[in-house]
Amino acid sequence: MTTIKGPAIFIAQFMGPDAPFNNLRNICEWASGLGYKGVQLPTLDANFIDLQKAAESKTYADELKGIAGEFGLEITELSTHLQGQLVAVNPAYDLLFDGFAPEAYRNNPKARQEWAVQQLKYAAKASQNLGLNASVTFSGALIWQMMYPWPQRPAGLVDTAFDELAKRWEPILNVYDECGIDLCYEIHPGEDLHDGITYEMFLEKVNNHPRACLLYDPSHFVLQCLNYLEYIDNYHERIKMFHVKDAEFNPTGKQGVYGGYQNWVDRAGRFRSLGDGQVDFKSIFSKLATYDFKGWAVLEWECAIKNSADGAKEGAGFIKDHIIRVTDKAFDDFASSGGNDDFNKALLGIK
């Protein structure tokens, strides 16, 4: 077993124009002051990382590591959530997702997708230069808007969509394999990979690619009423990253999983700061330790009620208190009677 690393923090929800959230150095100093040991970096803001430069220059990558190191931090992983979303976009979402790409690629889905694919490839090499072993992304979605089969889906539509999804992702996965990086899909509503079944469908289409791995985030499973503990039992061999995020689901006689088009604070299912929701983190940390998870426990703060400053401050201590420092001996070693092969055979009556 391995003691999980942490606490770390995903800084996407904190980045902004004002100090201390306006560049890598400032946000590292802030995170360190709260007790974090690692930062997980989004890759679209050059104030935090120039992704292409990090892919092409080991010296620059070392400089980024050095900035984090000044404050006793490590860069844990890189995130390409927004770029990954653009690898596969149904035309129904073109206008909405154009905002994820630089202006030069908007209103041009083909160019936008090519840009996104290149971004993913840069992230693989940048991760290698930074000495990392995993990176997180979204799968994108070709048929999410057809999740609920009404009108009924045409025969073969799902296979066609997943064939295309695999066609787009397999060359990217090969680049990650060349760089020695696990590409972890965050299983998430809005993506074609949104639960265990859809992940397995994708995995089959990419021939069980060894780098097609998982980021585990139980909050999304609470909102889907999916058994998030059993999920670890099913997929622990593929889970290489962990977002520590809380959520709650409180259905009423008027509202359930779909939320009635309400804002987050008024939905039956909503994200909460750590400890304010319903996720059984004690069991999660125990399972991950038992399955020898070797990654980081990374806070992803999203809450419909509590402010981010308090969420970040409380999150560091919450994660630290839940990390299990695994034992290096059996609790009943004191009662051991020793033994060797001859002793064991004698004990069993074997001559």
Distance (Å, whole) CA 107 – CA 89 = 13
Which tokens belong to 193? 């990979």
Q: Give mean pLDDT, residues 248-253.
A: 98
CATH architecture type of domain 5-348: Alpha-Beta Barrel (3.20)
* Band of pLDDT at residue 169, cut at 50, 70 and 90: very high
Distance (Å, whole) CA 116 – CA 123 = 11
**What ranges do the domains of the chain cover?**
5-348
H or E stretch at 116: helix 109-129
Which is nearest to 171 in space by CA: 92, 116, 129? Answer: 116
Number of H helices, E strands in the chain: 13, 10
Q: Give mean pLDDT, residues 318-339.
A: 80
Residue 261 has what pLDDT? 97
Residue 256 has what pLDDT? 97
> If DSSP codes are grouped into helix, strand and coil, which group holds residue 88?
coil
* Band of pLDDT at residue 335, cut at 50, 70 and 90: low
Q: What separation in angstroms does the CA of 263 have from each of 145, 258, 267, 301, 330?
A: 19, 12, 6, 18, 50
pLDDT tops 70 at residue 154: yes
Distance (Å, whole) CA 4 – CA 313 = 20
pLDDT tops 90 at residue 92: yes
Residue 334 has what pLDDT? 59
Cα angle, residue 44 at apex, residues 43 and 49 outer, rounded to 5°: 55
Residue 90 has what pLDDT? 98
Q: Give mean pLDDT, residues 226-238.
A: 98
Percent residues over pLDDT 90 in the chain: 93
Q: Give mean pLDDT, residues 248-256.
A: 98
Residue 337 has what pLDDT? 66
pLDDT tops 80 at residue 330: no
Residue 308 has what pLDDT? 96
* Band of pLDDT at residue 333, cut at 50, 70 and 90: low
DSSP letters of 262-301?
A: --GGGSSEEEE-TTSS---HHHHHHHHHHTT--SEEEE--
* Band of pLDDT at residue 331, cut at 50, 70 and 90: low
Write the single-letter amino acid at 112: R
pLDDT tops 90 at residue 343: no
Residue 327 has what pLDDT? 82
Q: Give mean pLDDT, residues 235-254.
A: 98
pTM over 0.75: yes
Which residues have CB under 8 Å from 76's CB, separation 6+?
5, 8, 38, 39, 40, 132, 295, 296, 298
Average pLDDT, the chain: 96
Q: Give mean pLDDT, residues 288-315.
A: 97
pLDDT tops 70 at residue 332: no
Distance (Å, whole) CA 192 – CA 80 = 16
Is residue 172 within 8 Å of residue 121, measured between CB atoms? yes
What's the number of CA atoms in the CB half-sphere (13 Å) around residue 301? Answer: 25
pLDDT tops 90 at residue 225: yes
